[in-house]
């Protein structure tokens, strides 16, 4: 794991294209104790070890289906849709071992992030590993890599000198071909040594979703218990035309029992 020194940082953003409805701002000063965090998301190989040792069955496996990007769905499509997002399809048999449904596998993707894991699944893995999920503030401090008020983990330009720095959607969304996830240590790490904190897969955090922020001194744990958990970082499906949440201050949420083909997690721990 990587040691994050803690201290004070400026959390949130007020970018010109920020999303006020997501409570990205106001920019606020947050103080954290030092902590540890995984340099990369949990991989399929790591999750397989957890399952082998514990017999754990994910929520997608128990339910019998999960959401797959429609471009990847070749079999088992059921009548399950997401309002306003026709690019998602419910697929019977889609789960972490079979990410696109029947006939797919993770055989050649051992070092890709595990997907189709709910918050509850991620929390179970973290407990087994003697770790925990990062708080939203910890996730953002670590993702910033020591930089202050920058749009991305590497600076303000999305593709400095024309070089792609993250796995986000390329071309017209959602019709251009997609390669899906990439290995967890693709691209250059940020200043703290963290990989792929922008794009590739959304990452679960410990915090409940809230759309109003309180001063840290009044509410250091973030919003109280609610119906959804915060996810951070964006995914391979993010594109500026509809979802620019690969910015380091961006945030959104999903319910704790939800699983999709573009959500994973990394773990944290106290020193």
Coil/strand/helix, residue 142: helix
222, 216 Cβ separation under 8 angstroms: no
Rounded to an integer, the average pLDDT of 33-48 is: 98
**Could you give the number of structural domains in the chain?**
1
Range in 16-20, 60-64, 112-116, 247-251 the model is least confident about: 16-20
Q: Which residue has the tokens 């593709």?
A: 159
9, two tokens: 């940082």
Coil/strand/helix, residue 88: strand
CA distance 213 to 249: 14
pLDDT > 70: percent of the chain: 94
Q: Are strands 65-69 and 88-92 parallel, antiparallel or unpaired?
A: antiparallel
CA distance 181 to 187: 13
259, 116 Cβ separation under 8 angstroms: yes
Rounded to an integer, the average pLDDT of 31-54 is: 98
Residue 76: inside a domain, yes or no? no
CA distance 263 to 266: 11
CA distance 264 to 109: 14
Rounded to an integer, the average pLDDT of 252-267 is: 96
Residue 98: inside a domain, yes or no? no
Residue 74: inside a domain, yes or no? no
Query: pLDDT band at residue 21, thresholds of 50, 70 and 90?
Result: confident
112, two tokens: 């890709």
Residue 196: inside a domain, yes or no? yes
Query: pLDDT band at residue 223, thresholds of 50, 70 and 90?
Result: low
CATH number at 260 reads 3.90.1580.10
Query: pLDDT band at residue 214, thresholds of 50, 70 and 90?
Result: very low
Query: pLDDT band at residue 225, thresholds of 50, 70 and 90?
Result: low
Identify the pLDDT of residue 78. Answer: 85
Q: Which residue has the tokens 């990452």?
A: 203
Identify the pLDDT of residue 271. Answer: 84
Range of the domain at 186: 1-55+111-271
pLDDT digits (tens, 9 = 90+) for 154-207: 999 999 999 999 999 999 999 999 999 999 999 999 999 999 999 999 999 999
Is the pLDDT reported for residue 218 higher than 70?
Answer: no
Range in 21-30, 134-143, 205-214 the model is least confident about: 205-214
By residue count, the chain amounts to 271
Query: pLDDT band at residue 51, thresholds of 50, 70 and 90?
Result: very high
Residue 79: inside a domain, yes or no? no
Q: Whole-number mean pLDDT of the chain?
A: 92
The HSE-up count of residue 24 (CA atoms within 13 Å, CB side) is 22
pTM of this structure: 0.93
Is the pLDDT reported for residue 94 higher than 80?
Answer: yes
Residue 90: inside a domain, yes or no? no
Question: For the chain, first and last CA: distance in Å?
Answer: 11
Residue 63: inside a domain, yes or no? no
| Residue 166 vs residues 115, 135, 200, 249, 270: alpha-carbon distances, Å | 18, 23, 7, 16, 28
Contacts of 11 (CB under 8 A, 6+ apart): 27, 28, 29, 30, 137, 140, 141, 249
Residue 73: inside a domain, yes or no? no
Question: Residue 110's Cα: distance from chain center in Å?
Answer: 18
Rounded to an integer, the average pLDDT of 198-222 is: 72
Coil/strand/helix, residue 21: helix
């Amino acid at each position: 794991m990587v040691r994050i020194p803690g201290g004070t940082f400026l959390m949130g953003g007020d970018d010109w294209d920020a999303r006020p409805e997501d409570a990205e701002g106001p920019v606020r000063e947050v103080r954290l104790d030092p902590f540890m965090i995984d340099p990369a998301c949990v991989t399929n190989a790591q999750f397989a070890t957890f399952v082998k040792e514990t017999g754990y069955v994910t929520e997608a496996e128990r339910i019998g289906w999960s959401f797959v990007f429609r471009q990847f769905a070749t079999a088992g499509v059921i009548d399950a849709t997401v309002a306003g997002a026709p690019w998602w399809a419910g697929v019977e048999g889609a789960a972490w071992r079979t990410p696109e449904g029947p006939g797919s596998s993770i055989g050649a993707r051992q070092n890709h992030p595990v997907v189709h894991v709910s918050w509850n699944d991620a929390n179970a893995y973290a407990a087994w590993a003697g770790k925990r999920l990062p708080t939203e503030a910890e996730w953002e401090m670590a993702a910033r890599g020591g930089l202050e008020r920058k749009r991305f983990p590497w600076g303000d330009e999305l593709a400095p000198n024309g070089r792609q720095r993250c796995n986000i959607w390329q071309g017209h969304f959602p019709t251009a071909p997609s390669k899906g996830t990439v290995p967890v240590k693709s691209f250059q790490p940020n200043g703290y040594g963290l990989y792929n904190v922008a794009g590739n897969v959304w990452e679960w955090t410990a915090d409940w979703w809230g759309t109003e922020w309180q001063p840290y001194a009044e509410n250091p744990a973030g919003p109280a218990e609610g119906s959804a958990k915060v996810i951070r970082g964006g995914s391979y499906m993010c594109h500026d035309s509809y979802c620019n949440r690969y910015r380091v201050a961006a945030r959104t949420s999903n319910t704790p029992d939800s699983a999709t083909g573009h959500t994973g997690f990394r773990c944290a721990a106290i020193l």
